[in-house]
Chains A and B, each alone.
Chain A
């Protein structure tokens, strides 16, 4: 029982903050900008601030703040629509020059600031001419997909310090005609989640915080880079499962808990945020990777212009700078037991063998759970265990146990398969890990008729 093993692993969650995101049709949290006469505008300030790690650590970051808000890690997710012209004004309050680059975007224009190696830069706040610490980047998001942006100034330090974020470009007209990632039928999805994957070497952050960035010249920090924190959406586990905009994480607004119903097509938008490779492994089902770097895995030329180059995978290799779009679907097919348990419910199979209402796999309807569950006194319960092995059922738990899974969902760990990355400064569990919770049909959308 894979699921139960995972649940037991999470036993240590008992002391965790409460993760109860509002069940809602998940859309990616981000900024849509301010409409203006010449396109959509964003106004960001690069500043120093801090992030928290789950075991109690605090790291200084260089983050982007939206307007008058606090800086955040990762940088704000830009929610764009194909064809939109975007202007991003970057004001620099950091002690070093900074800039932004947008891999995958063509014809990025810049105004203001001073020339840099990869991009026009906003000068450091301490520079003499104040007006040179502002630079504006303009581009048109001409193709849908998942992208990223990051600092183009000493990115080996500044991306590490936090200056990286995601860009989601929806196809023109979205969501008219149905939700799709790229406007084509095979990219249709029911729910979507963003996973910006990154790491930090605390040593670098300590030197920058206490001695200043210039002091790094005296340290062997780049050649011997050794991260000891790993993040999804700027949070370390178990904070990854806290709600979006959780009040206790003011500079880490993006959660990473995925919720889905059986049969949902879950679009995973995975972004390699810092400099290491991370194999992002998703339990529960394979996924079909449809795109990388914001481009479909298909061919548009030659005799096989409709060739299907999608890949089925259970580990998404996230290379630095790369983006991956993959569609995950959990169905429970052929589990050989009834996921909804022995309680009264029907299963009327459609053409695909699933009940169109409950999405139950009808061939397994009524089959008993093939194992005898241990008595409670032999169990250490995790916060995500509902007390029942059946979807939508809550069982009796000892006082103080459970409570993080009011839906009676099934929990699957999504995590780095470099398992050494499941720690926060050497403390397990933590790091590059979150959960997908499969909840009963009707929990997230229309109530289920059972």
Chain B
């Protein structure tokens, strides 16, 4: 959080927004989120209570929370991001974005007793209260926003989401002749896990010192998610209004991990050009069929599909089960439109067949600048098989 007072932060955002009409673009993106519990249903019917963020308007009127939280898109010209959050949970929370510079005010509840232990990386928003978190020098890249309070518990409970900014239109990072980060289409894949036993303990008040579950030491995730659901319900997140991916497109694949485990997203049938890590472009691209995605990491890759079909991206750490049942977990397919592939290309044919079985996750759709604010608050629609909601 910025060291400025909240009021100053708001004024700064407003002033920057006003200035933008007369000066070169230096807008401040602003988003409103409500943190609250949400019951998430896994494909096997098991319902897990999670903590999520819901998209809200400037008066914090919000629908249901989602996990991951709404994807935030900071326009290329904006240098400041402000996240307004209302906390409808029963514990204090905060918001951090690893990789983006901000001034932290850690919470040290026992400082007076000489114990410097921090329980939050930065200023907390109490239950029922609202808080403002600002990043005044927001750089381009792919990032995770997440709770900065008691993060061993709160992040795995679901308080995470993606926030991205492009260097320019169709350009993920500053143009460089050494590493090409230009793209025609993009897709976002956020990896995370659920240990339902841990969620139950937290939800029923059985988590914490002296209680049934004392810490996250005994973390045994049983659901392995991409964008909040395991296969076959896992679906890519596309920008609103994006046309279907076609053969020959340069597809920017954003990998983000809010997991506590390492995962290795692996593609069949071609290679990624891996171009960044932690929101920093590589000096040179790396040609790989897999991406080593450690906990908390983000990495961007360009994939150019050579033909129409359905491209599987599966976790080569083989977390491909859901609650120990096979044919689940971290597997997703990217549908590529265009001329039919060679008739005997089995994987392409099968992919189409399988895609029909995708569950459509009901979500809000649409891109809108809320209430005339300069920031774009972009909740991407979810597509089952390459069709995009408008």
Contact = CB atoms under 8 A, between A and B. Distances in A.
Interface string B221-247: 110000000010000000000000000
A321 B330 CA distance: 15
B290 A103 contact: yes
Interface stretch (B30-38, B63-71, B76-84, B265-273): B265-273
Interface in A281-321: 292-293, 295, 297, 299, 301-304, 307, 309, 319-321
Nearest to B231: A117
Contacts of A155: 314, 318, 320
Given A293-B290, A295-B288, A320 B320 contact: no
A116 B350 contact: yes
Contacts of A103: 266-268, 289-290, 316
Contact of B288 (A119, A221, A224, A292): A292
Contacts of B318: 155-156, 159-160, 274-275, 320
Interface stretch (B92-100, B112-120, B151-159, B321-329): B321-329
Contacts of B364: none
Contact of A293 (B179, B268, B271, B342): B271
Contact of B177 (A154, A302, A309): A302
A115 B349 contact: yes
B177 A303 contact: yes
B349 to A, nearest CB: 7
A292 B274 CA distance: 12
B292 A156 contact: no
Contacts of B365: none
Interface stretch (A41-49, A104-112, A237-245): A104-112
Nearest to A103: B289
B77 to A, nearest CB: 27
B46 to A, nearest CB: 13
A119 B333 CA distance: 13
B346 A115 contact: yes
A106 to B, nearest CB: 6
Interface string B299-341: 0000000100000101011111101111101010000000000
B285 interface: yes
Contacts of B320: 154-156
Contacts of B104: none
**B-side interface mostly:** loop
Contacts of A275: 316-319
Size category of the B interface is: 35 or more
A156 B326 contact: yes
B347 A156 contact: no
A119 B284 CA distance: 32
The interface residues of chain A, by DSSP majority, are classed as: loop
B288 A109 contact: no
Interface string A91-128: 00000000001111111111100011111100000000
Interface residues of A, number: 51
A223 interface: yes
A107 B269 contact: yes
Given A119-B347, A223-B324, A321-B316, A106 B290 contact: no
**Residue among B221, B222, B290, B306 with the most chain A CB within 10 A?**
B290
B221 A223 contact: yes
A108 B324 contact: no
Interface in A214-246: 216-217, 219-224
A220 B231 CA distance: 19
A133 to B, nearest CB: 16
B222 A223 contact: yes
Contacts of B221: 223
Contact of B321 (A116, A222, A292): A222
A159 B266 CA distance: 15
B254 to A, nearest CB: 20
A394 interface: no
A119 B342 CA distance: 15
B220 interface: yes
B371 interface: no
A111 B349 CA distance: 12
B204 interface: no
Nearest to A319: B292
A120 B317 contact: no
Contacts of B312: 117-118
A150 to B, nearest CB: 9
A106 B270 contact: yes
Contact of B178 (A101, A154, A302): A302
Interface in B344-358: 344-347, 349-350, 353-354
Contacts of A84: none
Nearest to B292: A319
Interface string B253-297: 000000000101011111100000000000011111110100000
- Which of B177, B321, B346 has the most chain A CB atoms inside 10 A of its CB? B346
B180 interface: yes
Report which residue of B178, B179, B289, B312 has the largest number of chain A beta carbons within 10 angstroms of its beta carbon: B289
Contact of B271 (A120, A217, A295): A295
A48 B316 CA distance: 23
| Most chain B CB inside 10 Å of its own CB: which residue of A105, A108, A120, A223 | A223
B290 A321 contact: yes
Contacts of A109: 342, 344-346
Contact of B342 (A107, A116, A156): A107
A217 B324 contact: yes
Contacts of A219: 324
A388 interface: no
A101 B349 CA distance: 15
Contacts of A111: 344, 346
A205 to B, nearest CB: 15
Contacts of A307: 284
Given A104-B289, A115-B353, A309-B284, A157 B268 contact: no
Interface in A238-273: none
A229 to B, nearest CB: 17
24 contacts: A103-B266, A107-B342, A109-B345, A110-B344, A116-B350, A117-B350, A119-B346, A119-B347, A119-B350, A120-B350, A155-B320, A156-B326, A156-B329, A160-B318, A224-B220, A302-B176, A302-B178, A302-B284, A319-B290, A319-B292, A320-B317, A320-B318, A321-B266, A321-B289
Given A156-B329, A217-B324, A319-B264, 17 more contacts: A107-B342, A110-B344, A115-B346, A117-B354, A118-B314, A119-B268, A119-B347, A119-B350, A156-B326, A224-B220, A276-B317, A292-B288, A299-B284, A299-B285, A302-B178, A322-B290, A322-B292
Interface of A: 101-111, 115-120, 152, 154-157, 159-160, 216-217, 219-224, 274-277, 292-293, 295, 297, 299, 301-304, 307, 309, 319-322
